[in-house]
Chain A
Amino acid sequence: MNIIVCIKQVPDAKDVRLDPKTNTMAREGVESIMNPFDRHALEEAVRLKEQHGGTVTVVSMGPPQAETVLREAVACGADEAVLVSDRAFAGADTWATTYTLGKAIVKNGPFDLIICGKQAIDGDTAQVGPGLAKRLNIPYVSYVRKITGFDGGALSLQRLMDDGYDEVEIPLPGLLTVVKEINEPRVPSLKGKMKAKSLSLKTLNAEDIGADPDSIGLPGSTTQVVKVFSPEFKGERAMLEGTVDEQVEQLVNKLGTYL
Chain B
Amino acid sequence: MDYFLTEEQQMIVDIARQIADDKIIPVRAELDEKEEFATEILNDIAQADLFGLYIPEEYGGFGGSCFEIVLALEQFGRGCVAIATSFAASALGAYPVLLSGSEEMKQKYMPDVASGKKKAAFALTEANAGSDASGIQTTAVLDGDEWVLNGTKQWITNAGKAQIYSVVAITDRSKGARGASMFVVEDTDPGFSCGPKEKKMGIRASATCELIFKNCRIPKDRLIGREGMGFITVMKTLDLSRPGIAILGVGLGQAALDEAVTYAKQRVQFGKPIISFQAIQHMLADMAIEVEAARALVYGAAKHIASHPKDMSKASSMCKVFATDMAMKVTTDAVQVLGGYGYMREYPVEKMMRDAKILQIYEGTNQIQRNVIGQELNKEYTKKI
Contact = CB atoms under 8 A, between A and B. Distances in A.
Contacts of A188: 14-15, 18, 48
Interface stretch (A8-16, A28-36, A189-197, A203-211): A189-197
B383 to A, nearest CB: 42
A239 interface: no
A186 interface: yes
A187 B49 contact: no
A190 B18 contact: no
B18 A193 contact: no
A20 B49 CA distance: 46
Contacts of B7: 197
A194 B11 contact: yes
B23 interface: yes
A186 B11 contact: no
Contact of A191 (B14, B19, B23, B49): B49
Nearest to B8: A194
B22 interface: yes
B16 to A, nearest CB: 9
A191 B14 CA distance: 13
A199 to B, nearest CB: 14
Contact of B48 (A189, A194, A197): A189
Contacts of B14: 188, 193
A190 B11 contact: yes
Given A194-B8, A194-B11, A186 B44 contact: yes
B49 A190 contact: yes
Nearest to B23: A187
B18 to A, nearest CB: 5
B57 to A, nearest CB: 11
A188 B15 CA distance: 6
A241 to B, nearest CB: 31
Contacts of A193: 11, 14-15
Nearest to A188: B15
A193 B19 CA distance: 14
A257 B89 CA distance: 70
Contacts of A189: 15, 47-49
Interface residues of A, number: 10
Contacts of A197: 7
A188 B48 CA distance: 6
B355 to A, nearest CB: 23
Contacts of B15: 187-190, 193
A192 B15 CA distance: 11
Nearest to A191: B49
Interface in A155-198: 186-194, 197
B50 interface: yes
Interface centre among B8, B49, B62 (most CB of A within 10 A): B49
A151 to B, nearest CB: 27
Contact of A187 (B8, B18, B53): B18
Nearest to B11: A193
B275 interface: no
Contacts of A191: 49
Contacts of B47: 186-187, 189
B22 A187 contact: yes
A159 to B, nearest CB: 27
Nearest to B20: A187
Interface centre among B18, B19, B47, B53 (most CB of A within 10 A): B47
Contacts of B23: 187
Nearest to A190: B49
A193 B44 CA distance: 15
Contacts of B264: none
Interface string B1-41: 00000011001101100110011000000000000000000
Contacts of A187: 15, 18-19, 22-23, 44, 47-48
A207 B316 CA distance: 61
Interface string B47-59: 1111001000000
Interface string A22-43: 0000000000000000000000
Nearest to B68: A190
Nearest to B43: A186
A16 to B, nearest CB: 21
Contacts of B22: 187
A189 B16 CA distance: 10
A190 B62 contact: yes
A190 B44 contact: no
A194 B62 CA distance: 11
A120 B14 CA distance: 25
A197 B12 CA distance: 14
Nearest to A187: B18
Given A186-B44, A190-B62, A193-B11, 6 more contacts: A187-B15, A187-B19, A188-B18, A188-B48, A189-B15, A190-B11
The 5 closest A-B pairs by CB, nearest first: A190-B49, A187-B18, A189-B49, A193-B11, A189-B48
17 contacts: A186-B47, A187-B15, A187-B19, A187-B23, A187-B44, A187-B48, A188-B14, A188-B15, A188-B18, A188-B48, A190-B15, A190-B48, A190-B49, A190-B50, A190-B53, A190-B62, A193-B15
